[in-house]
Amino acid sequence: MRWDGESRLNGLLVLAAVIPVWELASRAALVNPLFFPPMSKILKSFFLLVLSGDLPYQILLSLKRAAAGYLLAALVFIPLGIAMGLFDWVHRSLELIIELARPIPPPAMVPVAMLFFGLGDGMKIFVIFFSCAWPILLNTYDGVRNIDRVLIYTAGTFGLSRARSVVKIIVPAASPQIMTGLRVSLAIMLILVVISEMVGSTDGIGHFILDSQRRFKVDQMYAGMISLAVVGYALNQLFLLFYSWLLAWHKGLTRKQR
C-alpha cells in the first residue's frame, strides 16, 4: 500500500489525534478507566519499563527463542525444499507426510512441545520450528520447480556438475521465492512465540502481556502490546533491508517487468 504525501499527512493526524482523545475520554470516565487507562499513564509505564530494562529483557528472551526456531527451520527446510524440487522421488516420498502434518494448527503443537520440553526455551523453539516449516519448505520447493528449463540447460551446456549447478544456479534463481517463504515465516514466528509464551511460560513478552492483564496492571499490558507492535515493525524493516541487499538484482528486474 502506497503512501502519498497528502494521504500520509491525513493518516498521521488521525493517528496523533487518538492520543488526546483517548486521554480525555479516559480521564473524564467516558470509558471505563479500568479498561482504558489514560494514554499518559500507558506511555509513562511504557517508558519506565523500557528504561528500567524490564521490557527489553522480556523482548530479548522472546526474540532469542524465536530466532533459534526460525533459523533452525531455515537451515533444515531450505535444503529439504531444494532436494524435493530437484529429485522427484524425494518429493513423492515426503508428499503424504507433509500433507498430513500441514493441516495441524500450530498452536496444537504447543501441548506436544510441553510434553517433550516442559516450559523452557526448547518448547518454544520446537513450536516455532514446526510452524515455520511449511511456508519455508513449500516456497523453496516452488521456487526450485519454477526455474526456467533454459537455465537448467545452460548449466548443462557449461558442463556443471549437479552440486555446482545447485550452488551457482538453482539457489540464486530460486532465491526470490525462498525469500517469500522466509518473510511469511517471520510473521508466523512472532505469532507463535507469543502464543507459546501465553500458554506455557514464565517469561517472555507474551507471558508479560497476559500476566499484566491477570494482575490488572492494565497500563503495563498496553505498554507490552505497544512494544510488540514496535518489535513487529522493526523485524519487518530489518527483513526488507536484508532482502534489498541480497536481492537487489531482483528488485530491478521486477520493477522493469511491471
Partner 1 sequence: MRLLDVEGLSKSYRQVGGESTLALDEISFQVDEKEFSSIVGPSGCGKSTLLMCIAGLIPPTSGTVKVKGIKVNGPPQNLVLVFQEYNKSLFAWRSVLGNVLFGLEAKRQLSSDAQERARHLLHLVGLEGFERHYPWELSGGMQQRVAIARALAYEPEVLLMDEPFGSVDALTRLELEDALLRLWKELKTTILFVTHDIDEAIYLSDRICLLSRRPSRVVQRIDVHLGRPRHQLATRADPKFVELRNEIYKQISDEAGK
Partner 2 sequence: MKLLKKINFAGLASLGVLLLLWEIFTRASPLLQLYFPPVSRILLSLYQLIFSWELAGHFLASLGRFLSGYLLAAAVAVTLGIVLGHFRTAYSLSEALIEFLRPMPSVAIIPVAILFLGIGDSMMVAVTVYACTWPILINTIDGVRNIDRTLIDTARTFGLGRWKALGKIVLPAASPYIVTGLRVSLSIALILVTTSEMIVGGSGLGFFILDEERSLRTSNMYAGIVLVAMLGYSLNRLFLFLERKAMSWHRGMTAGE
- Return residues touching partner 1 (CB under 8 A): 148, 150-151, 153-154, 156-160, 168-169, 172-173, 175, 247, 249-250, 252-253, 256
- Of 157 and 202, CB closest to partner 1: 157
245 binds partner 2 (CB under 8 A): no
- Of 102 and 251, CB closest to partner 1: 251
Q: Is 156 exposed, middle or buried (0-12, 13-18, 19+ CB in 10 A)?
A: exposed
In contact, 141 and 181? CB cutoff 8 Å: no
> Which bin fits 216, alpha (ψ -120 to 50), beta or left (φ > 0)?
left
Distance between CA atoms of residues 225 and 231, nearest Å:
10
Count H helices and E strands in the chain, helices first: 12, 0
Distance between CA atoms of residues 191 and 232, nearest Å:
10
Q: How many CB atoms lie within 10 A of CB 30?
A: 11
195 binds, among partner 2, partner 1, none (CB under 5 to 8 A by kind): partner 2
- Of 191 and 247, CB closest to partner 1: 247
107 binds, among partner 1, partner 2, none (CB under 5 to 8 A by kind): partner 2
The window from 53-61, 172-180, 233-241, 242-250 that contacts partner 2 (CB under 8 A) reads: 233-241
Residue whose C-alpha cell reads 522493526 in the numeric block? 234
29 binds partner 2 (CB under 8 A): no
Least CB distance to partner 2 at residue 77 (A): 17
Distance between CA atoms of residues 189 and 54, nearest Å:
22
Residue whose C-alpha cell reads 504525501 in the numeric block? 5
167 binds, among partner 2, partner 1, none (CB under 5 to 8 A by kind): none
- Of 169 and 184, CB closest to partner 1: 169
- Of 102 and 164, CB closest to partner 1: 164
Question: 171-199 and 121-145 helices cross at what angle (nearest 10)?
Answer: 150
181 binds partner 2 (CB under 8 A): no
Distance between CA atoms of residues 33 and 149, nearest Å:
64
Distance between CA atoms of residues 166 and 201, nearest Å:
41
For partner 2, the binding residue among 123, 170, 199, 223 (CB under 8 A) is 199
118 binds partner 2 (CB under 8 A): no
* Interacting residue ranges for partner 2, rule: CB under 8 A: 1, 3, 6-8, 10-12, 14-15, 18, 35, 89, 92-97, 100, 103-112, 114-116, 187, 190-191, 194-195, 198-199, 206, 209-210, 212-214, 218, 221-222, 224-225, 228-233, 235-236
